[in-house]
Amino acid sequence: CRAWDSDQVDVISLCRQIETLPGLDDRILQRRTAQVRRLLQSTVVAVANGSVARRFQGMTIWWPDARSWRRERARYRGTAFATQTRWARFLAAYCAKAPTAPALVNRNAPFGLCWTGTIGGTRLALGYDNDTALAIALRSSDGGRRWRQSSRDSWSYALYAAAAATPRRWIACGGDAYDLKSLILVSTDAGRTWRRRPVASARYLFDVEMVDARRGWIAGSSGTLLHTSTGGREARERTTATHDSTVGTAGERASRPAWRKVRTGTRAWLYDVEFLDARTGWVVGTLPPDGSGVILHTTSAGTDPDGDGPQTAWRRTPSPADGGLFGLAVRPSGRVWAVGGDPAGGGSAIVHAADGIDWQTQHAGTDRCLYSVCFIDDRYGWAVGAGGTIVHTSDGGSSWTRQSSPAGFDLYHVEFTDERHGTAVGDAAVMLLTDDGGATWRTRRIVRR
């Protein structure tokens, strides 16, 4: 086992490099670096053997399927490496229903976007490459067998989500883990090429939702909610009921941005935004430092119904979830599901609102944190999460059962096109596919050509 800072830097190897760096005459730095390396080496061995790392005050690591998890990370780009420092995290995957269809289309216009699909058709995979510390945007036109990179090598970001304003105009979002910078990309050729768009935000951007060809929303950290009324040609930062920022600058009166300065009390990280129609939407997230779940709801298109006074469009509704919330699913009937849990300590959460307002808990069928959920109708749904967890319901969530998963790594995104065909991606260069409703899942490696 090896140790790294977060999921990006191999700290032990970095320490060795500092200790042996030619020309370095800082003996104190070298001595301290050696102490850190020895501490990490002893700590990692202890954790790998199943014991508690006392130096980290009781931190433990979940090790089921650890060998498979490490092997999948090491094989990214189709090559087996001696170490696991080269790997990729795919945070979203989108595909079309037919080989000739666009990769992102409306599911039930005007209800939702990002319709992901079956084995055939064009695919888009988004994520982060640990080898190069760059964002990944890969596109496939042969059902995921071959992938071509459409992102630029200068984007030191992670890409978290994408949505389609039109069949050819796509929008993707992400953030820079080092400098806390936002990233918004726009493609006008169905994902073949991308252009970066300026945005007045220094936050992680986790999800994007296009209500129609012009109006869209992006949710992010510290209560960030971005809105565009021009199909992604511009994005203005708007404050929500969880952030105390100001919207607009002097000289923008002619554009009449809908958001104004509001009073807020918290700084929740907002992970998913979904709209039922042009006026009704939800946002879910996690409130630091306790990690409790946050649910925001609007019935006025995210704007003040009266057009003046304090911003009251996004109202926080009580969450019964035990832990944070990371994923949303909204049906045309108005039923809404949200999933989450505690990523660090374990524990899952599924909450449901039949009317979109009054939330009730559902038994998740697992004790692992869940990150994404999808429903194809009011009965059939799937959720994925930590450790390759996949759960399924056929009764609207009254009962959830765990499905067998070939993945030992975290899964961050799942979508189904019908009762049989689904796709899931996560913390490895592997896409999970099913054509029997999740009774069996097979893997397809995402390899760049």
CA 57 to chain centre: 29
Give the residue ranges of the chain where pLDDT is below 50: 1-9, 44-86, 96-121, 235-237, 243-265, 305-310
Are residue 363 and residue 311 in the same domain, yes or no?
Answer: yes
Does 95 map to a domain?
yes
Output the pLDDT for position 282.
Answer: 92
Does 68 map to a domain?
no
Are residue 379 and residue 422 in the same domain, yes or no?
Answer: yes
One DSSP character per residue, 267-320 reads -PEEEEEEESSSS-EEEEEEETTTTEEEEEEESSTTS-TTSSSS--SSEEE---
Domain span at residue 12?
4-61
Q: How far is Cα 345 from Cα 202, in angstroms, rounded to an integer?
A: 29
Among 14, 34, 61, where does a domain finish?
A: 61
Among 34, 61, 88, where does a domain finish?
A: 61
Output the pLDDT for position 263.
Answer: 37
Does 328 map to a domain?
yes
User: What are 89-144's pLDDT values in tens digits?
Assistant: 667 666 544 433 333 332 322 222 222 222 234 577 787 776 566 777 777 776 66
Structure tokens at 190: 């169905």
Are residue 343 and residue 383 in the same domain, yes or no?
Answer: yes
Does 324 map to a domain?
yes
Per DSSP, the chain holds a count of helices (H) and strands (E) of 3, 30
Output the pLDDT for position 144.
Answer: 63
CA 336 to chain centre: 18
Output the pLDDT for position 255.
Answer: 42
Look at residue 69 and give its three-state secondary structure: helix
Output the pLDDT for position 396.
Answer: 93
Output the pLDDT for position 178.
Answer: 60
CA distance readout (Å), 345 to 50, 182, 286: 16, 29, 15
**Backbone phi and psi for residue 238, each to the nearest 5 degrees, phi listed first:** -120, 145
Output the pLDDT for position 384.
Answer: 94
Give the CA angle between residues 387, 359, 94 to the nearest 5°: 45
Beta bridge partners of 101: none
Are residue 266 and residue 409 in the same domain, yes or no?
Answer: yes
Number of domains forming the structure of the chain: 2
Give the CA angle between residues 259, 262, 264 to the nearest 5°: 130
Output the pLDDT for position 175.
Answer: 83
Q: How far is Cα 434 from Cα 430, in angstroms, rounded to an integer?
A: 13
Does 71 map to a domain?
no
User: Which position has the token pair 């009730």?
Assistant: 360
Which of 217, 212, 268 lies closest to 243, judged by CA?
268
Does 70 map to a domain?
no
Instruction: Write out the H or E segment, with its range, that includes residue 321.
Output: none
Are residue 101 and residue 172 in the same domain, yes or no?
Answer: yes
Are residue 51 and residue 140 in the same domain, yes or no?
Answer: no
- Cβ atoms within 10 Å of 395's Cβ, excluding its own: 11
Rounded to two decimals, what is the model's pTM?
A: 0.70
Structure tokens at 125: 């995979």
Are residue 248 and residue 362 in the same domain, yes or no?
Answer: yes
Structure tokens at 67: 């060998």
Q: How far is Cα 337 from Cα 42, in angstroms, rounded to an integer?
A: 43
Are residue 365 and residue 279 in the same domain, yes or no?
Answer: yes
Output the pLDDT for position 417.
Answer: 79
Are residue 160 and residue 292 in the same domain, yes or no?
Answer: yes
Are residue 268 and residue 360 in the same domain, yes or no?
Answer: yes
Are residue 315 and residue 369 in the same domain, yes or no?
Answer: yes
Q: How far is Cα 298 from Cα 305, in angstroms, rounded to an integer?
A: 10
Structure tokens at 5: 């800072």
Does 67 map to a domain?
no
Output the pLDDT for position 369.
Answer: 92
Output the pLDDT for position 378.
Answer: 94
Answer whether 314's CB lies under 8 Å from 301's CB. Answer: no
Are residue 13 and residue 156 in the same domain, yes or no?
Answer: no
Does 99 map to a domain?
yes
- CATH number, position 420: 2.130.10.10
